[in-house]
Amino acid sequence: MQDPVLKVDGLSVTFRSSLAILDDVSLEVRRGQTLGIVGESGCGKSMTALAIMRLMPSAALKVSGGDIRLNGENLLALDEEAMRAIRGSRAAMIFQDPMTSLNPLFTVGNQVGESIRKNRQIDRAEARQITVDLLKAVGLPDPERHLDYYPHQLSGGKRQRVMIAMAIAGNPDVLIADEPTTALDVTVQAQIFQVLRDMQAASGTAIVLITHDMGAISEMADRVAVMYAGRVVEEGPADEILAAPRHPYTRGLVSCIPRVSDEAFDGWPELPVIPGTVPDLDKRGAGCHFAPRCPLADDRCAARRPPVLQDGERRCACWYGMAGGPAA
């Protein structure tokens, strides 16, 4: 098997050197593949993405351990100048809210053109032509006309297409998509996913898709990593995990997927929820962070950190997880 394009190994990030935001996060994604990262808000999904891009929003956040390798090169060892050369060319990112992620004062053509010219020594006319091609590739109708539009004149779906065009302008090895469709409606979400899949098929770019939507995972991801409170609790092939989740948290997430079936219409069974919320940073104990909300938890879960058990392609961090557990 080929080496992963992006390999995150034991990444830890702390806030003010004491509170663990990310705790021993390991992920990898191969060329042409999509890794889904799921979890509730506050689980560290976006922080993982920003840490990979070395775009931590505050100086109080520091990487305290692990490494991040892009095609074998350790990104954490690079100086800011070298990292800047990687952003946008070898690793690119698209964001959750396309409404606010484009500079409101410049036209679409100007912004996409600048992101092309950042990586290549070409003149404006050439950049304009490449921009048109890119906008066509992301399915924006009549791209020439859209060049002179300002972001506020575009719908959310169109803006996200523009964001994708900017992100793939440098033909990156890995594209991190941080909840790219959360702010969009469902039909537009399907279109955006199609754009990402087409782009991936054409270029072989590895995608890291961050989402809280298990439906998006089943649609897009080859592998999935489930995060909870800064840790990866379960990781493996997406279809296996969706079909047979092992960690109780994953099971909770999977059972929360609404399904339209015959029985769903008679009697309207209640959609299950996972009780409670993600614990605050300063209220995370020594054991399994999910223990306070877990139906299986006992004293051992609260006291000691569960081991990460490897089983072929899958791994799971739960005292009960790998064997299927008592309530499996």
Q: Does 283 contact other proteins by CB under 8 A?
A: no
The single residue among 3, 124, 141, 194 that binds other proteins, judged by CB under 8 A, is 141
Closer to other proteins at the Cβ: 148 or 298?
A: 148
Task: Write the single-letter amino acid at 212.
Answer: H
Q: CA-to-CA distance for 215 and 194, rounded, in angstroms?
A: 14
**Look-up of token digits 């959750």:** 96
Structure token pair of residue 28: 């990898």
Segments of the chain assigned E as strands: 6-15, 19-29, 34-38, 61-70, 73-74, 91-94, 174-178, 206-211, 223-228, 231-237, 308-311, 314-317
Q: Does 85 contact other proteins by CB under 8 A?
A: yes
Per-residue mark of binding to other proteins, 216-255 (x: CB under 8 A)? ----------------------------------------
The single residue among 37, 43, 70, 86 that binds other proteins, judged by CB under 8 A, is 86
Q: Does 163 contact other proteins by CB under 8 A?
A: yes
Q: Does 214 contact other proteins by CB under 8 A?
A: no
Task: Write the single-letter amino acid at 11.
Answer: L
Strands, sheet with 34-38, edge to edge from the N-terminal-most edge strand: 91-94, 174-178, 206-211, 34-38, 223-228, 231-237, 314-317, 308-311
Q: Does 97 contact other proteins by CB under 8 A?
A: yes
Give the interface segment with other proteins, choosing from 151-159, 283-291, 301-309, 316-324 (CB under 8 A).
151-159
Count of residues engaged in binding other proteins, rule: CB under 8 A: 41
Smallest separation (angstroms) from other proteins to the CB of 182: 13
Smallest separation (angstroms) from other proteins to the CB of 112: 10
Q: Does 87 contact other proteins by CB under 8 A?
A: yes
Q: What totals of helices (H) and strands (E) does the chain contain, helices first?
A: 12, 12
Site for other proteins in 111-140 (CB under 8 A): 114-115, 118-119
Q: Does 273 contact other proteins by CB under 8 A?
A: no
Q: How many whole angstroms from its chain centre is CA 269?
A: 31
- The residues with which 209 forms a beta bridge, in sequence order, are 36, 177
Smallest separation (angstroms) from other proteins to the CB of 84: 6
Q: CA-to-CA distance for 195 and 220, rounded, in angstroms?
A: 11
Residue 76 is given by DSSP the state G
Smallest separation (angstroms) from other proteins to the CB of 305: 33
Closer to other proteins at the Cβ: 159 or 223?
A: 159
Length of the chain equals 328
Residues that bind other proteins (CB under 8 A): 53, 55, 57, 59, 84-89, 92-93, 95, 97, 100-107, 114-115, 118-119, 141-142, 145, 148-150, 153-155, 158, 163, 166-167, 169-170
